[in-house]
Amino acid sequence: MSSTASHLREPLVTGNPTLAQISDEVCAPMERKPSWMWWTAFLLALSALIAGFSAIGYQLYNGVGTWGLNKTVGWGFDITNFVFWIGIGHAGTLISAILFLFRQKWRTSINRSAEAMTLFAVLCAAIFPFIHMGRPWFGAYWIMPYPNMRGPLWTNFRSPLVWDVFAISTYFTISAVFWFVGLIPDLATVRDRAKTALRKKIYGVLSLGWSGSNRHWVHYETVYMLLAGLSTPLVLSVHTIVSMDFATSVEPGWHTTIFPPYFVAGAIFSGFAMVLTLLIITRKVLSIEHLITLNHLENMAKIITATGMMVGLAYGTEFLIAWYSGSNYEGFVFFSNRATGPYAWAYWTMISCNVIAPQVFWFKKARRNIYVLFFFSLVVNVGMWFERFVIIVTSLHRDYLPSSWAMYNPTWVEYTTLLGTFGLFFTLFLLFTRVLPVVAIGEVKAVLGFARRHPETTSQPHAVTAQPSPAAARVEVAHG
Amino acid sequence: MAKKAPKIQEPKEIKQYLVGVYGTEEQILAVTAAVVQAGLPVHDTFTPYAVHGLDTAQGLPRSKLTYVTGIGGLLGLLTALTLQIYTQSIETPFWSGWPLNVGGKPFMPLTAFVPVSFELTVLFGGLITVGGLLSFCGLLPGRKPRLHIEGVTNDRFAIALDPTGLHFDEAQAKTLLSEHGALEIAYVEENA
Amino acid sequence: MSANSKTATPHAETPPAAPYRTPARLRNVALGLVIVGAGLFAWTLSSQPWRAWANGLIASYLFVSIAIGATVLVALTHVAKAGWAVVLRRIPEAMGSWLPFGLIALLAVTGLGMHELYEWSHPDIVAQDELLQHKAVLMTPNFFLVRLVVILGLWSLFAWVLRRNSVAQDKDGDDRHTRANVAWSAIFLIVFGLTVTVASLDWLMSLEPHWFSTIFGVYQFAGAFVAGCATVTLAVLGLRRAGYLPQVTTGHLHDLGKLMFAFSTFWAYIWISQFLLIWYANMPEETGYFLMRREGAWLALFASNVVLNWLIPFLTLIPRPNKRSPKILAIVASLLLVGHWLDVYLQVMPPVSHFAVEHGGDVHAHGPFLGLQELGPVALMAGLFLLVVSWRLGRAALVPQRDPYLVESVHHQQ
CA distance C266 to C61: 21
Q: What pLDDT, in 10s, does the model give residues A248-286?
A: 999 999 999 999 999 999 999 999 999 999 999 888 888
* Whole-Å CA distances, B143 to A479, B48, B189, C35, C125: 36, 19, 16, 74, 78
Determine the pLDDT at residue C256: 94
Amino acid at the residue A117 = M
CA distance A100 to A107: 7
Query: Which residue from A minimizes the CA distance to C189?
Result: A306
pLDDT band at C17 (very low <50, low <70, confident <90, very high): low
pLDDT band at C108 (very low <50, low <70, confident <90, very high): very high
CA distance A292 to A273: 16
Across the interface, whether the CB atoms of C279 and B29 are under 8 A apart is answered no
Size of interface A-C (CB pairs under 8 A): 128
Determine the pLDDT at residue B97: 76
Q: In terms of pLDDT, which residue wins out, A285 or A80?
A: A80
Residue of B62, B140, B152 lying closest to A209 (CB–CB): B140
Q: Does C275 touch chain B (CB under 8 A)?
A: yes
Residue of C1, C279, C318 lying closest to B26 (CB–CB): C1
Edge-to-edge order in the sheet of strand B16-22: B42-46, B157-161, B16-22, B184-189
Domains and CATH numbers, chain A: 18-447 (1.20.1630.10)
Q: What is the pTM of this model?
A: 0.91
CA distance C367 to C345: 11
Range in A455-459, C22-26, C37-41, C253-257 the model is least confident about = A455-459
* A157, A230, A324, best to mutate vs chain C, most C CBs in 10 Å: A324
pLDDT score of A477 more than 70: no
Residue of B52, B96, B140 lying closest to A208 (CB–CB): B140
Residue of A219, A469, A478 lying closest to B63 (CB–CB): A219
pLDDT score of C406 more than 90: no
Determine the pLDDT at residue B13: 65
φ and ψ at residue B103, rounded to 5 degrees = 60, 25
Determine the pLDDT at residue C82: 85
Determine the pLDDT at residue B7: 59
Q: What pLDDT, in 10s, does the model give residues A276-331?
A: 999 998 888 888 888 888 989 999 999 999 999 999 999 999 999 999 998 899 99
Q: Which residues are CB-contacts of C61 (< 8 A; sequence separation ≥ 6)?
A: C106, C203, C204, C344, C348
Neighbour count for residue A403 (Cβ, 10 Å): 4
- Taking residues C55-82, what's their average pLDDT? 95
Query: Which residue from C minimizes the CA distance to B113?
Result: C276
Query: Which residue from A minimizes the CA distance to B101?
Result: A156
Neighbouring chains of A at 3+ CB pairs within 8 Å?
B, C
Neighbouring chains of B at 3+ CB pairs within 8 Å?
A, C
Q: What pLDDT, in 10s, does the model give residues C22-36?
A: 889 999 999 999 999
- Taking residues C211-222, what's their average pLDDT? 95
Residue of A306, A317, A325 lying closest to C197 (CB–CB): A317
The mean pLDDT value of chain A amounts to 87
Determine the pLDDT at residue C187: 94
Determine the pLDDT at residue A470: 41
Across the interface, whether the CB atoms of B115 and A167 are under 8 A apart is answered yes
pLDDT score of A464 more than 80: no
pLDDT score of C5 more than 50: no
Q: Chain C, 101-140: which have a CB under 8 Å from a chain A CB?
A: 130-131, 134-135, 138
ipTM value of the model? 0.89
Across the interface, whether the CB atoms of B111 and C279 are under 8 A apart is answered yes
CA distance C251 to C254: 5
Q: How far is A416 from chain B (nearest CA, A)?
A: 33
- Taking residues C383-392, what's their average pLDDT? 95
CA A192, A194, A197, A202 torsion-angle sign = negative
- Enumerate the residues of chain B whose CB falls inside 8 A of the CB of residue A210: 139, 145, 153
Determine the pLDDT at residue A455: 40
Torsion of CA C10, C11, C16, C20, to 10 degrees: 110
Determine the pLDDT at residue A147: 65
pLDDT band at A11 (very low <50, low <70, confident <90, very high): confident
Torsion of CA C21, C25, C31, C35, to 10 degrees: 180
Q: Does B139 touch chain A (CB under 8 A)?
A: yes
Q: How far is A267 from chain C (nearest CA, A)?
A: 17
φ and ψ at residue A107, rounded to 5 degrees = -70, -20
> Are C118 and C207 spatial neighbours (Cβ–Cβ below 8 Å)?
yes
DSSP assigned state of A332? I
CA distance C220 to C204: 9
Neighbour count for residue B62 (Cβ, 10 Å): 12
Q: How far is A48 from chain B (nearest CA, A)?
A: 34
- Taking residues A399-408, what's their average pLDDT? 91
* Whole-Å CA distances, C54 to A350, B36, C273, C404: 43, 66, 27, 45
Question: What share of chain C in percent tops pLDDT 70?
Answer: 95
Identify the H or E element spanning A35. Answer: none
Across the interface, whether the CB atoms of C318 and B70 are under 8 A apart is answered yes
CA distance A448 to A1: 9
φ and ψ at residue A363, rounded to 5 degrees = -95, 130
> Are C270 and C224 spatial neighbours (Cβ–Cβ below 8 Å)?
no
Residue of A250, A257, A326 lying closest to C215 (CB–CB): A257
- Enumerate the residues of chain C whose CB falls inside 8 A of the CB of residue B25: 1
Q: Does A204 touch chain B (CB under 8 A)?
A: yes
Neighbour count for residue B48 (Cβ, 10 Å): 27
Question: HSE on the CB side for C173, CA within 13 Å?
Answer: 10
> Are C131 and C112 spatial neighbours (Cβ–Cβ below 8 Å)?
no
Q: What pLDDT, in 10s, does the model give residues C267-288?
A: 999 999 999 999 999 999 899 9
Q: Does B106 touch chain C (CB under 8 A)?
A: no
pLDDT score of A163 more than 90: yes
Across the interface, whether the CB atoms of C276 and B111 are under 8 A apart is answered yes
Q: Dmax over Cα atoms in chain A, in whole Å? A: 92
Q: In terms of pLDDT, which residue wins out, C202 or A155?
A: C202
Domains and CATH numbers, chain B: 16-59+144-189 (3.30.70), 65-137 (no CATH)
> Are C218 and C57 spatial neighbours (Cβ–Cβ below 8 Å)?
no
pLDDT band at C10 (very low <50, low <70, confident <90, very high): very low
CA distance C171 to C306: 46
Neighbouring chains of C at 3+ CB pairs within 8 Å?
A, B
Residue of C1, C276, C320 lying closest to B114 (CB–CB): C276
Q: Which residues are CB-contacts of C230 (< 8 A; sequence separation ≥ 6)?
A: C260, C332, C333, C334, C336, C337, C340
Q: Does C84 touch chain A (CB under 8 A)?
A: yes
- Enumerate the residues of chain B whose CB falls inside 8 A of the CB of residue C411: none
Q: In terms of pLDDT, which residue wins out, C10 or A82?
A: A82
Q: Which residues are CB-contacts of C395 (< 8 A; sequence separation ≥ 6)?
A: none
* C212, C220, C267, best to mutate vs chain A, most A CBs in 10 Å: C212
Q: How far is A461 from chain C (nearest CA, A)?
A: 7
Radius of gyration of chain A (CA): 25
Across the interface, whether the CB atoms of A260 and C273 are under 8 A apart is answered yes
Query: Which residue from C minimizes the CA distance to A454?
Result: C4
- Enumerate the residues of chain C whose CB falls inside 8 A of the CB of residue B29: 1
Q: What pLDDT, in 10s, does the model give residues A103-119?
A: 788 888 888 999 999 99
Size of interface A-B (CB pairs under 8 A): 227
**DSSP string of chain B?**
--PPPPPP----SS-EEEEEEESSHHHHHHHHHHHHHTT--EEEEE-SS--TTHHHHHTPPPPTHHHHHHHHHHHHHHHHHHHHHHHHH-B-SS-B-----STT--SS-HHHHHHHHHHHHHHHHHHHHHHHHHHHHT--TTPPPSS--TTTTTT-EEEEE-TTSTT--HHHHHHHHHHTT-SEEEEEEPP-
Question: What share of chain C in percent tops pLDDT 90?
Answer: 76
- Residue stretches of chain B with pLDDT short of 70: 1-13, 192
Q: What pLDDT, in 10s, does the model give residues C300-357?
A: 999 999 999 999 999 999 988 999 999 999 999 999 999 999 999 999 999 999 888 8
Determine the pLDDT at residue C312: 96
